[in-house]
Amino acid sequence: MSRRIRKSSILPEKNLPDETILFFSPEAGVTPIYVAQCVVARTLKEAGHRVLFSRCFEVFERCPVMDMYQLPYTDGAEIKAAICLKCAGASFDMLDEYGLESFDLRKFLTRDVTSKYQQALLKLTDDLRQFEYDSVPFGRLSMLDLVLATKISNFEKVSEEIRLAWLKYIKSSLLSYLLIDHVCEKFSISRIVHHNDYSIMLGPHMAARKHGIPSFTVAFAAHNAVDLRRSSRVADLVWNKFDQHEQAWPALRDLPLSESKLKDVAHDLLVRVGAKRAHT
């Protein structure tokens, strides 16, 4: 596996094909999430589209797989290496099973991208909520990950430990933005697809927006501590869609629910009061 990972850092083609649908997926280690994307990608491929997955290996300081394994924000280098190796292996295995192609993001860590990344980090503010790059509020975009992981609610004055965690989310989101911005400048990308609205996904979403490229979110239904039976595809950010649902509530609240749907709602409430999910 280590040899295959080393070899994959070399892009096999000089250019990506035109009108490529790019799946930004730095979370193969979270199997249900990756499988959901593979199903969508395989469906698109069978419909005649050119589909390509991005794959990373030790590129980002923080990702959903590291959060899933509760990797410590300090130290943990050995554990992180093992997590990245396991994640890369899952990526190769599942993409092979679904007959899907990929490229390694390390190939695009060019001198120009690295320079922009380092220059941007020099402008980090004391109040990380104010940090922006290319008018993208990375400091605020990363707050959701921080809340889910640490449950803090006061961002005016955070501990050094929380600040370190926040910085890792900011750096990962910023780097994902710069990498996909570079890919969009160099190649003909027709769509970008990612899973959920974690800050590392919002970087590519904002890069797509910068280039006028449609961006789609693949997500599972949020109830019952994430319902893996039901997935959705949204031509927007999931949280924006939730806002639209809230605004539609006055028009929908008098419609009756079936008994099965009512049971789903009740079960979801019990799951939440039982603190069995990160959103509680």
Residue 178 has pLDDT above 70, yes or no: yes
> So what's the pLDDT on residue 16?
61
CA atoms of 148 and 278, how far apart (whole Å): 6
Please report whether residue 263 resides in a domain.
Answer: no
Interval 250-276: pLDDT, tens: 999 999 999 988 998 898 888 888 876
pLDDT band, very low/low/confident/very high, at 92 (cuts 50, 70, 90): very high
212 neighbors 43 (Cβ within 8 angstroms): no
Kindly report the backbone phi and psi dihedral angles of residue 133, in degrees, each rounded to the nearest multiple of 5, phi listed first.
Answer: -150, 130
Task: Enumerate residues 6+ apart whose C-beta is below 8 A from 79.
Answer: 69, 71, 72
In a domain, 80, yes or no: yes
CB-count burial class (<10 Å; 0-12, 13-18, 19+) for 158: middle
- Pick the closest to residue 101 from 27, 230, 13, 192 (CA basis): 13
226 domain-assigned: yes
Closest CA to 8 of 113, 101, 79, 83: 101
In a domain, 253, yes or no: no
Residue 134 has pLDDT above 80, yes or no: yes
In this prediction, residues 37-52 reach a mean pLDDT of 95
The predicted structure's pLDDT at residue 272: 83
Residue 75 to residue 72: CA distance in whole angstroms: 7
% helix, strand, coil for the chain, step of 5:
55, 15, 35
Structural domain count of the chain? 1
Q: Which residues contact 247 (CB under 8 A, 6 or more apart)?
A: none
> Is residue 275 one of the residues assigned to a domain?
no
Residue 32 located in a structural domain? yes
Domain assignment present for 274: no
- Per-residue model confidence (pLDDT) at position 76: 82
Amino acid in position 20: T
Owning domain of residue 118: 2-240
Say which residues have a Cβ less than 8 Å from residue 238's Cβ, sequence separation at least 6: 196, 197, 217, 219
Using DSSP, state whether 118 is helix, strand or coil. helix
257 occurs within a structural domain: no
Note the pTM of the prediction, 2 decimals. Answer: 0.89
Q: Calculate mean pLDDT across residues 229-249.
A: 86
From the number of C-beta atoms within 10 Å of its C-beta (0-12, 13-18, 19+), residue 137 rates as middle
Q: Give the per-residue pLDDT at 139.
A: 96
Per-residue pLDDT tens digits for 143-173: 989 998 888 889 988 999 999 999 999 999 9
